Structure 1
């Protein structure tokens, strides 16, 4: 969902280049060692962070890990940045860019976990290549994830979930976990689940949340 433009968010992003990388050149890798306090820590990346409830919660819970929120909209990036500054989340960086260039922004075998949360389903067949679980995106995930790394995907859209299961399976990845009703899994699984804004909204209405974890190596 596209957010209404907020001038304060645009100004905030422009005022904090140390926290937000804007429109990076795909021809040049980002030097993450210069952007994070301790590059040796595990790196987790969310593609399409929206207002950032998920990624900022993780960053607060796990100061021993590094996080990157990828978001195309400047307003969304500004909302995430506001939380980052208020909560003093030094382990979170924001990348305002198109995820199609993921493999240009990160080194091979550098990411521990990639998160896709409630991505745009792009339901029309002619838009298949825009789905974040289309094979060209999966190739980028395979390239940038560490050999022991994995992808975590959540959605409320049954069509996108079915498509993703087939696409990921055909790509040759292995599933560690699949659920067609995440919020009714056992307590051990739920205690590690971090809700997004959309997830809370949909689940509170009784809608099932679909989830999968997959490995590419």
Structure 2
């Protein structure tokens, strides 16, 4: 397998980014203002002398309270369990296909706090078909992609997007591995209810199997 980003995710510029309620910097902040949220992320990275933050698989996060998209409220359990790995880094960073792939589906998931510009790739490895999802991308390269298009391992097919087109988040890549799309196209839950952890962990294996970062 190849890298998903042209960045050494084991290098000294990379640090783990904790977005749970264990981190007071995010727990007590009003993250609905994306510019403020970005300042908080950058300050956390600067404290660690890092320029890239990584982490989040099966992390129970507080940050989704910023958006009604994740169902905060009194009736149903809110979605807060993150099913991918986020890599927080500069907008414009190329995104690479880690394996030979076919473009499965494309979408602009434009709700506030959603994926924004999204690409889902289909792969086959040793007879097993699986999928990788890339969220929070730039619109520019996305418009050049087509469903069914083939990509070579290592081929750049997108870039990390700026806000607001990336779903209105500080720039980062949401990377997720999916065993079964269950008939979905262009979208797949990236955040689940904590009570359903076992179900979603089986559907969405650890992305670090591909990313291979020791910082997570």
- Output the TM-score relative to the length of structure 2: 0.28
| Larger helix proportion of the pair | 1
- Output the TM-score relative to the length of structure 1: 0.28
Q: Which has the higher contact order (CA 8 A, sep 6+)?
A: 2
| Larger strand proportion of the pair | 2
